[in-house]
Amino acid sequence: MKDGSTSANRLFVETYGCQMNEYDSGIVKRLFGDRGYSTVQSESDADVILLNTCAIREKAHERVYGRLQSLNHLKRKNPGLVIGVLGCMAQNLGEDLHGMGLPVDLVLGPDNYRDLPQLVEDIRTGKGGATLARLSSSETYEEIEPEVVSGCLAFVTIMRGCDNFCSFCVVPFTRGRERSRNPDSIVQEVQNLVKNRNVAEVTLLGQNVNSYKMDDGLDFAGLVRRILDETEIKRIRFTSPHPHDFPLHLLELMAEEKRFCNHIHLPLQAGSTDVLNRMNRDYSRESFLTLVGQIRELMPDVGLTTDIIVGFPGETEEQFQETLEVVEQCQFDMAYMFKYSEREHTLARKKFADDVPEDVKLDRLSRLISLQTSLGAQKNRQEVGKVHEVLIEGTSKRSTSDWMGRTDSGKVVVFPAPEGTGIQDLESYRGQLVHVEIQSCTQATLKGIARWEEHPTGFEVATADSTLAS
């Protein structure tokens, strides 16, 4: 942030939804920082409050409505306070948000953030509220480096928008069509994160990273190769790919390169080909299982996670059983599981009746969660006795004397800090790699003992060539 910010230029940003929204909030903070604003941690201290929203599920909308209602008292106390709604919900609802009796001065979609600081200044100088929700075919904010950093981890958006038009999904209508960011700017951003912010791991973000493509033919695998070759980043992750165009050479690169983490989030959505067709997912049950087989053949220790929707229009009990069968066969390490809810503007809302009763949706969701919880716990038990290289991220949630990190396959590991160290020593270890022997587990977490003795001169970074016992 620039020096010279005044007490009247205080910004509070609250983010809902996915990592891309977190990244976009970083862009917004950077734009306001360039105008002399400081970011505050409490809405009660702010002169401008911005809620960066999600439109994927109804629950996300309800949370934002409730949050806006809770801000009414601040607006009454300070009529000059500016409250804005940004992001996908803003793009989806537009002007409608102004007519809901909520304290909203500004509604802005995700392709319009460059205009945001000036629009806020216009409101603060009495020019009235605004709604701006035009979609762009070219905006990637590629020269803006928002530094969306959490400890030694960071997100980097490599593309925006989506061309897949899954029938249940609102993203093409809230974030526009696909456009890929210039690779030079991505590499530069990663270089700066490593050099200036001591970032050890980046997650590359896109609605469908497989679709990353430049005019010279550079694809997503080529981009990852450039980042590996041109930066000193210790680990690279990505989310999310689409099963219908997952290239074999990307899997081969992941299998070859230790710094390219062997963790894939592969959205299934449904295990019935008929349901997948109604979802416009462009792959079948059989092709999904074939892809999972290829992944496991190349990387037997891969961490595989997924998304699943139950209760999509027309889903029968038999089709739901097909989903359970695919989950059983795939043996996912973890899954995000949801019941279907209609979204404005989607093909599913226009074409299909939401005909699966709510109690049936909830029952199917419960059965799916029960199955996946059992499978995930079983997968964790298989890790006991193995040794993993873990990137130290911070303290565990329960005790500052225990630290935590993740394996390259994405599993959370908790382990005691080195003897004689305290919370004040964490920063000299954060972002380093250490070997941890797994001794026990819960349904969600591995627990182990770090092999600090392998570093006789004190702690040193485990190199990319480290060989692990298994």
Q: Which residues of 307-338 are buried (b: 16+ CB within 10 A; e: fewer)?
A: ebbbbbbebeeebbebbbebbeebebbbbebb
- How much is the pLDDT for 82? 95
What confidence tens digit (pLDDT) does each residue in 59-117 have?
777 889 999 999 999 999 998 999 999 999 889 888 888 778 889 999 999 999 999 99
- How much is the pLDDT for 52? 96
- How much is the pLDDT for 7? 64
Angle between helices 285-298 and 317-330 (to 10 degrees): 10
- How much is the pLDDT for 459? 53
Q: What is the mean pLDDT of residues 157-178?
A: 93
What confidence tens digit (pLDDT) does each residue in 264-298 have?
999 999 999 999 999 999 999 999 999 999 999 99
- How much is the pLDDT for 468? 35
- How much is the pLDDT for 2? 41
- Beta-carbon contacts of 193 under 8 Å, excluding residues fewer than 6 positions away, are 147, 149, 154, 156, 199, 202, 233
Q: Which residues of 193-231 are buried (b: 16+ CB within 10 A; e: fewer)?
A: bbeeeebbbbbbbbbbbbbbbeeeeebbbbbbbbbbeeb
Other Cβ atoms less than 10 A from the Cβ of 409: the count is 19
Residue 401, CA atoms < 13 Å, CB-side half-sphere? 2
- How much is the pLDDT for 6? 52
- Amino acid in the structure at residue 431: G
What confidence tens digit (pLDDT) does each residue in 245-263 have?
999 999 999 999 999 999 9
- Domains of the chain from N-terminus onward: 10-132 (3.40.50.12160), 149-381 (3.80.30.20), 387-454 (2.40.50.140)
Return the bridge partners of 447, or none.
414, 440
H helix or E strand, kind and range, residue 328: helix 317-330
Q: How confident is the model at residue 352 (pLDDT cuts 50, 70, 90)?
A: very high
**Which carries the bigger pLDDT value, residue 455 or residue 167?**
167
- Would you say the pTM of this structure is higher than 0.85? yes
% of the chain beyond a pLDDT of 70: 95
- How much is the pLDDT for 3? 42
